[in-house]
Structure 1
């Protein structure tokens, strides 16, 4: 969910670099094979380390602050959640031309969530809602507030107001711009007055693991923080639909105003994604169009 952030310089992260970092800093694991995962992510590059561990390296300065945050908080959150989350085993330091801290985690089995991999989308939606409810119940004291470390997830939608309106203007002949602006302004007006709660910050299909058709783990807590839970609702329009969306809404502890702000988060991301890919990547553009259509239709019900 990070498209639209300021430009940044990326680092070439490959197997050779990871082998060097592990061998020098964690020689006890130096003989374990290292290979990239099928989908290594954008914010971070992920590699298998042997059979039971993974190496995860931020791909840019924008993501580097997430390492220390995850090491501090994930071990505290994990025992209080109904599904497994990544557990950090060791933190590496900058070396060999790699400029940031990096992590070794226990490997979590499973495949990224997709409609064809989920046995019962209704039950999947409930299980995910229960996970988010449990996350929100954990004491948020001293948790990190929204900021650049998590691209302001849990914060106010107003930070992306200019991006959203510019995207709508750019897409004038591509989408129902009046409906999009109406949904966006409704999200801005649905003010949040609650107490801060823990948010994952990037609840997407890529960060939900399934096995034998069931939700078995939640990964990638780089956008973790405490604040408004609306940002964690976007999955309702990006993966769920119909009855599964209704089941999710009924099971997650949010009111109608928070649901409206959730639509705003989903709309913002879909708009900027469509602008980015409309002329270069038809597949991603079509996915973004689908989300926009789902958000606008949901707002009319």
Structure 2
């Protein structure tokens, strides 16, 4: 499996503390604790109520800026909490990119909850999708790997399916060929989360408390986000999710959504050797997609 990309800038507690002291001195005192270091970002918990999110490589730098620009506007119409910046950081002290302070959202990710227990999130997640999927302005962020026609993802998907890293690759390849032939989205470019899977959903007290990580925020085919039906739910939960969205999407869009779920499952399976939670999301999604 592919290794996680190396950090292009060393981010540690001392650097984060010094950035806070230099730019937001009133936030420099509370304890700092590293809670995540993913492919793109490092996240520190700041005291009890805040989090600091910093890109660890150049490819993620624009993603933070997209969140800073658009989340304050989008959050006003979304029915759950999202990581709206509380403070914005700028390059400094040798650190080259923008960074963000946001609210810490207590709870657990839906990825850590058994699929059968996620069913209660079907209707709340459908409400988030319905509120988000509105026509986006021309200056919405462009993302070359989300919201695009399925044909644009063919080489990447086939490459993963022939890599030996994805189980049941022959079945998956046949299904990809079938689903990816579905006509492309012909409607307006809609706002998309772009990475709507259970590791980016926070649940607390049995409810959907927050949707995280809008770094892939973009506009395009809503089928990309609707892939959450397979990434997040079992058959019962998926039926509830689809029913809650009513007639907002036609059959072709749901077929493309299943193709997107397959594409994203292959990515999670091929690139999550150091992230067992994401690997489990990929395993679940592949099973659900192949089952229908």
TM-score grouping bracket, smaller chain normalisation: 0.7 to 0.9
- Which digits, 9 at most, give the CA deviation of each residue in 1:106-157, with x for residues without a partner? 22222211463789533311110111101113x522452533xxx5311222
Q: Is the 8 A contact 2:191 2:220 kept in 1?
A: yes
- What does residue 293 of structure 1 align with? 287
Q: CA deviation at 1:73?
A: 1.0
TM-score, normalized by length of structure 2? Answer: 0.87
- What does residue 149 of structure 2 align with? 156
Pick from 54, 57, 77 the counterpart of residue 57 of structure 1.
54
Q: Is the 8 A contact 1:184 1:264 kept in 2?
A: no
* SS of residue paired to 2:208: strand
Q: Is the 8 A contact 1:183 1:296 kept in 2?
A: no
- Which digits, 9 at most, give the CA deviation of each residue in 1:32-72, with x for residues without a partner? 221122x4443211112222221110121111001221111
Pick from 21, 37, 43 the counterpart of residue 46 of structure 1.
43
Pairs within 5 Å for 1:1-301: 10-37=8-35, 39-114=36-111, 116=113, 121-137=118-134, 139-147=135-143, 151-171=144-164, 174-252=167-245, 253-276=248-271, 288-298=282-292
Distance 1:198 1:154 in 2: 9
5+ unaligned residues in a row in structure 2: which ranges?
Answer: none
Distance 2:100 2:130 in 1: 27
Distance 2:278 2:262 in 1: 15
Query: Relative to 1, partners in 2 of residues 1:8 and 1:65: Cα closer, same or farther, differing over 3 Å?
Result: farther
Distance 1:281 1:33 in 2: 26
Q: CA deviation at 1:209?
A: 0.8
Cα RMSD, aligned residues only? 3.0
Q: CA deviation at 1:275?
A: 3.8
* SS of residue paired to 2:180: helix
Distance 2:171 2:37 in 1: 38
Point out 4+ residue stretches in structure 1 off by more than 6 angstroms: 280-284
Q: CA deviation at 1:287?
A: 5.1
